[in-house]
Amino acid sequence: MPHIIYTSLNQSLSDKCYEAFLTGNIPEEGWILTEGAHLYLLGEGPDVPSGKIFTAPGGPADYFESSIPEEKAKAAWKSYISGRRLPAGAALAAGEGKVLFFEPSDYEPDLSHMDAYRLPFDPLEEVLTPQEASKLYGTDAKRISADCERVPSLFAKNEIRKSGNTWLILKSAAGRIYHEDQEISYTINPLLLVFSTLEAARIWNRDSGVVRSAAAGAGHSSARMGEGERRKSGRTWLVTRDAMERLFGQALPVLMKEAMRGIVR
C-alpha cells in the first residue's frame, strides 16, 4: 500500500521533506514523522515524550533520542535509513538534525489542520528516455546514450540514471544540453519516482512480464496501472514508484538504495 501523506508545510518544504523520507535522510527544514503506513510532513517537531540519548548505528545522524527501548529504536533506525517500514511499536520523527523515537500512540495528528500531499508535477512528464530526447531536441539517440555513458558526463550525477536497459534523463537537463533551454529546478528529483518496468520488476522482486502487463493495462482491474501511473516510450514502459507500491507493496530496500545511489543531492 502507498504511504498516506499529510502536510502542514508549504509545497516546497513538503517536497524537500518527502525527498528526505524517500532517501532515508533528515530534512534540513521541516520535519517528517512516520509510523506504519503513515507519513506526516510537519512544520515543527511533534510534542512527544522525551527519552534517552543513544548513539545512532550509522546513517545521517550521530545520535537519536528515544522513549522506546534502545534495541527497538536502533532496529527502527536501521529500517528507516535502508528504506524499510519501521517495525511495529516504533514511530520516528526527524528534522533540523534531530531524530526521535517513540510509541505510535504517543502522537495524535490534528488532521483538521492538514491537507493531503500531492506532487507539484507529473514525474512521468519530467523524465525522458534517449529516444524521446532525440525526437524532442533533434539529436541522435545513440549520441544521447553515449553522453550518458561518457566520463566525465555532460550530465550531473543526479540528472541521469540507468534503469534496466535504458537511460532515464531529466527533461530539464536534456533541454539545457541539447536545446539551450533554461533549466528548471526541482524540489524533489523526478528520477526518484520513475522506473522502467524491467528495473521496477527487479527492485520489487516481481516477474518483469507481470509488471509490464500491469503497465499495459492487462489483467484484472485491481492489478492494472492507470493514467498518470505509466507511460510508454517506444517499446519501454515507464512506471511510477506510487503505482508499484500500490500494486506490489514495499520494494527490496537494498536494491532501491542501489538504484538511487548518486541521485540524492
pTM of the model: 0.90
Q: What pLDDT does residue 200 have?
A: 98
Question: DSSP letters along 43-78, please?
Answer: SS-------EEEE--SSS-SEEEESS-HHHHHHHHH
- pLDDT exceeds 80 at position 92: yes
Torsion angles phi and psi, residue 64, rounded to 5 = -145, 160
Tell me which residue has cell 538534525.
Answer: 97
pLDDT in tens, 4-36: 788 888 999 999 999 999 999 999 999 999 998
User: Cα–Cα distance between 27 and 47 in angstroms, integer?
Assistant: 18
Domain ranges of the chain: 4-116, 123-260
Mean pLDDT, residues 124-145 taken together: 96
Average pLDDT over residues 226-238: 94
Taking a C-beta distance cutoff of 8 angstroms, is the pair 213, 219 a contact? yes
Model pLDDT for residues 35-84, shown as the tens digit of each residue: 988 999 999 999 999 999 999 998 899 999 999 999 999 999 999 998 88
Task: Give CA–CA dist 63/128, Å, rounded.
Answer: 40
Q: Which residues pair with 33 in a beta bridge?
A: 40, 93
